[in-house]
Amino acid sequence: MELITEWTTPLRYKPYHQWSKSYQDMLSSIIQKSDWKLAFHIQPKTGLLNDPNGFSFYNGKWHLFYQAYPFGPVHGVKSWYHMVSDNLVDWEQHDYALLPDSPYDSHGVYSGSAMTVEDKLFLMYTGNVRNEEWERHSYQLGAWMNAEMEVEKITKPLIDSPPAGYTHEFRDPQVFRYQDHYLMIIGAQTENEKGAVLAYQSSNLADWELLGELDYTTEEMGFMVECPNFVLVDGQPVLLFCPQGLDKNISSYQNIYPNMYVIGSSLNKETVSIENTSDLVNLDEGFDVYATQAFHAPDGRVLSVGWVGLPEIDYPTFEEGWAHCLSIVKELSIKENHLYQKPVAEMQELRQHHEVLQGSAQESDTLLSSPDSNVYELKLELNAGTSGSLYLFADKQNEEGLKISFDAKRDTISMDRSKAGIPFGESYGSTRTAALKRQDKLTLHIFADRSVCEVFVNDGYRVITSRVFVKDPQQTHIFLQGFGGDYTGDFWTLREMNE
């Protein structure tokens, strides 16, 4: 049996029950043998993973769903796959929660959100349907999950069509409580092909009233806004969103589509606006983060998780029949009107062998560590004024590897993956650079996991994420080059998540 490499439209929309178990078993066995298989990031059981959905806490457990196409590394007819955790780091594969099996989601269960309501979990999502002319119709649908994790779809659409003046590029509802109502925001496109976010309200989760187009910027938001997500972080409204086709003169970015945020002072339901918003800011300064979803956890934290992958980009794992992963879970906070993201404290539960690092940054290569695999956590603190480069996923000669450069004079940090392994997405560049705020020291908090690297800079002031596909699994060396200044740090090997 061979992997399918030519994906026609009929094949992408072939019903799930028509796929043989032997083909799915083959896909699973390939992933298990892959050098790029992840140790502690959520990746697809088989096939493709994309948007995180329904991130929530219900019945004493953390729940996270992801949009899935289980039969190959392509965007076919989608479903939701369900993951469950006791601690935000060990994620158990549960089962498919929503399948494309109704008249309102026959061509794909698209993205959405979840919210605990009394003793059940309410799911709201977009159903995608195509007619014979292959024209799209979007339905906003609902479902209920009980304590036994059984899911029952609501039989009729909650919103059966977009409002007048908007196309059927109308998807990704996020539902949340606000004051005395439920609110829902959703990505949309005007008939003039301009990106927008619409807001609705409901008193019962069944009947939805359009409030209007959400006002959060005076700029044009490209041709479509995907995955809008509203949270209150330290009392301030934050809107996460993905504007497709955004003019780079409005906000600078290099990825095919950016994942951005704005911070405001308040949400005004009467004017349907987030007031006094900041400029648009990249949520992640790296190569591969998209469709981030956040929610208010019952312990008071605001937690987020993103898709580490991008639409319309070919990744090296496509040749192995699978694609993408989710980021680690992050906690959000605001300082001086800037969004900080840091790894959740629970990540410490993965720590195993520990090394203490200390020395002076030299012009020549300094070997910080040489673990057996690229599955580790690294914390590094450098004196103010230090410039240099950190090399991860490196070979013994430090000729191949992922390069992270920091420049104290310019207060910038950059990531260069041009020599980090198999190249991909090259038309969007191989280097990313972010500005830093001048401070007394530079801190780097890094999570490496075989084929993904997440870098938290200065306590989460910036985050830089990249997929990395080394050609040789022996490329595990970590080197530091510097020009003046001392460093201290900690290195831990990390265990695999318990599934």
Measured distance CA(307)–CA(53) in Å, rounded = 10
Q: Which is it for the CA torsion 164, 186, 175, 139, positive or negative?
A: positive
Among candidate residues 131, 136, 138, the one with its CA nearest the CA of residue 173: 138
Burial class (CB in 10 A: 0-12, 13-18, 19+), 369: middle
Known catalytic residues?
Answer: 51
Among candidate residues 3, 34, 112, the one with its CA nearest the CA of residue 325: 34
- Measured at the CA of 161, the angle between CA 157 and CA 166, to 5 degrees, comes to 150
Measured distance CA(309)–CA(311) in Å, rounded = 7
Measured distance CA(477)–CA(81) in Å, rounded = 35
Among candidate residues 332, 449, 346, the one with its CA nearest the CA of residue 41: 449
